[in-house]
Amino acid sequence: MKTKHARAVAGALIAGLAGLAFAAAAFAHHSFAMFDHDHQVKLNGTVKGFQWTNPHVYIEMEGRNAKDEKSEAQHYTIECASPGILNRVGWKFNMIKPGDVITVIIAPLRSGEPGGLLKQVTLADGRKFGNGGPAGQPNID
């Protein structure tokens, strides 16, 4: 019985994962599994570039980990959703410019490279923007 039950649970888990994979494919240009959504990082820094393009918008920034005083500044590439998704949640193509000082919360790349998926950006004027539904919410302050 136990084995049967374990098998049923495993089956349900696999079906669930398969469903998730379809959901990810249906909502995004690519799966977000390459980002670590459980260990989010907050970065402070200066914008070096803002690329407003499909399939994704990118923020290039010189940033450091806001929660680690010993962290050193380095270049980060932050992937955002697409212009369409961002327009629908209130962004504007010109709201971020090189030189702006911003704070971002990201799901870092699992590869350990300096980049990640945006969860939330706080602009110099204090306004906060999410990255649309499919990218998910920040889980840290």
Partner 1 sequence: MNASQTARFSGAALLLTAGWLGGALAAQSDTKTALDPRTMMTGQWNRYPEMGEQPNPKFPPPAAIPPPPLKPQFQAEYDARRKAVTDAEAKGQPLYTNYTACLPDGMPAMMMGMFPMEVLQTPGQITIIQEAYNQVRRIYMNDELPAPEDAEPLFWGHSSGKWEGDTLVVETIGIKTSVRFRDAPHGIQMRIHERLRLLSPDMMEDQVTVTDPEFLTGPWSFKYMYKRMHGYKINEYVCEANREMFDPETGGVKLRLGK
Tokens of 84: 């369409």
Q: The tokens 């990640």 sit on which residue?
A: 116
Q: Does 1 bind partner 1 (CB under 8 A)?
A: no
Q: Calculate the alpha carbon distances from 42 to 14, 56, 62, 93 in Å.
A: 33, 21, 13, 23
**Residue number, 75 or 127, with CB nearest to partner 1:** 75
Quick note: the x/- pattern for partner 1 over 65-104, rule CB under 8 A, is ----------x-x-x--xxxx-x-----------------
* Selected binder of partner 1 within 42, 56, 103, 129 (CB under 8 A): 56
Q: How far apart are CA 121 and CA 103, in angstroms?
A: 6
Q: How far is the CB of 1 from partner 1 (least distance, A)?
A: 27
Q: How far is the CB of 69 from partner 1 (least distance, A)?
A: 25
Q: Beta 74-79 vs 115-122: how paired, if at all?
A: parallel
- Among residues 101, 100, 103, 99, the alpha carbon closest in space to that of 129 is found at 103
Binding site for partner 1 (CB under 8 A): 14, 17-22, 24-31, 33-36, 49, 51, 53-56, 58, 60, 75, 77, 79, 82-85, 87, 109-111, 113-115, 133-134
